[in-house]
Amino acid sequence: MAPPVMAARAWLADHVPRPDRPLLNMSQAAPTAPPPEGLRRAIAAAALDDVSAHLYGPVLGLPALRAALAAQWAADYGGTIRADQVAITAGCNQAFCAAIATLAGPGDQVILPYPWYFNHKMWLDMAGVEAVPLACGPDLLPDPDRAAALITDRTRAIVLVTPNNPCGVEYPAALVRAFSALARDGGPALILDETYRNFDARPLPPHDLFDHPDWDARHIHLYSFSKAFRLTGHRVGALIASPARLAEAEKFLDTVTICPNQLGQRAALWGLQNLRQWLAGERAEILARRDAMAAGFAELPGWRLLGCGAYFAYAAHPFGGDAETVARALLAEQSVLTLPGTMFAPEGDAPARRQIRFAFANADRAGIAALFDRLAAFTAARGGGQP
């Protein structure tokens, strides 16, 4: 099976948008605008003037970037976070892969709430690790008691993503704390992916896990600079864990990439040092788009918004066909590319057949208005959304 985003892009091969209906691509959660000019100039300067930017660097990342991220996280979350608890990776996907490499192997289990981020599921499958599905409730929040019931002597980790991809929901601090309790006293590790933390609607901090003096004993945190500074192509992420775990992760990272992207790391460091106010503006814009998506679904007959936040709106469609059929028809008739819920769930999951994800990071308010005009027309053509 092709990666889901690539599978959806393949649908475009036979699609010819009408001149009055250009493609609205809401399939992937990646900004398409370039980084701000100051950051691009910093990358250019590093490429021209810093010879070391073209050489291998430390496997766990530039010391200055590790220290800057640790300091920023300590300021944002409280608690103590040291530079030796931070590794820089080739994107957050690699941070997840490296974390799993330190925890699990063939025959082990990892609990994965769903709707899940499909790259997590794909990596577990390729690594021979059994992904144990944990169905979220109607509020799209995972239940720690149900997770506890799934733990066996082969369970090595529980994975949470907040704000969530694909659903957009923000996990309450108390819920994260409850999962944290499962990880203590020799329980499975808690992997917390906070790729979209910069677009959380709540004031910082979103949880208090770093307050515990030995938080790194069973907790692993993941982050991405891709969304914050529009550095998707530079592949810079972070793995935050104990020095002992990072020593094990270093073996994995050295054999895969040797070191993270050198120019990307310098860009991330410049961003941390210079773009806090700019990033606040980015957050405000994404939150405004989130509000526009919520308002649009509130007025759309038949559809039901299940979750909305970060870059995503996750909705239940009102039609009789399954989600992929609806998504393909939406592309063919209205030139809107989305991802069906079946890409984020175990095969045969019934609720997923009625769910569609919209990634709105690249849609401005006019684009969102156009989306709902098209969804309204699509729904009306089917008798107002009745199955």
Please report, for the chain, the start and end positions of each structural domain, with discontinuous segments joined by +: 4-30+278-379, 50-274
Whether the Cβ atoms of residue 30 and residue 313 lie closer than 8 Å to each other: no
Structural tokens at position 132:
């144990």
Q: How far apart are CA 253 and CA 57, in angstroms?
A: 12
Q: Which of 77, 85, 290, 92 lies closest to 201, judged by CA?
A: 290
Burial class (CB in 10 A: 0-12, 13-18, 19+), 281: exposed
- State which H helix or E strand residue 271 sits in: helix 262-274
What is the CATH number assigned to the segment(s) 50-274? 3.40.640.10
Burial class (CB in 10 A: 0-12, 13-18, 19+), 319: buried
Digit-by-digit pLDDT tens for the chain (387 residues) are: 678 888 888 898 888 888 889 999 999 888 888 999 999 999 999 999 999 999 999 999 999 999 999 999 999 999 899 999 999 999 999 999 999 999 999 999 999 999 999 999 999 999 999 999 999 999 999 999 999 999 999 999 999 999 999 999 999 999 999 999 999 877 899 999 999 999 999 988 999 999 988 999 999 999 999 999 999 999 999 999 999 999 999 999 999 999 999 999 999 999 999 999 999 999 999 999 999 999 999 999 999 999 999 999 999 999 988 999 999 999 999 999 999 999 999 999 999 999 999 999 989 999 999 999 999 999 999 886 554
State the CATH class of domain 4-30+278-379: alpha beta
Q: How far apart are CA 387 and CA 382, in angstroms?
A: 8
Q: How far apart are CA 60 and CA 82, in angstroms?
A: 14
The verdict on pTM exceeding 0.85 is: yes
Beta bridge partners of 159: 191
CB neighbour list of residue 120: distance below 8 Å, 6 or more residues apart: 96, 112, 131, 159, 161, 193
pLDDT of residue 15: 87
Q: How far apart are CA 144 and CA 28, in angstroms?
A: 29
pLDDT of residue 8: 85
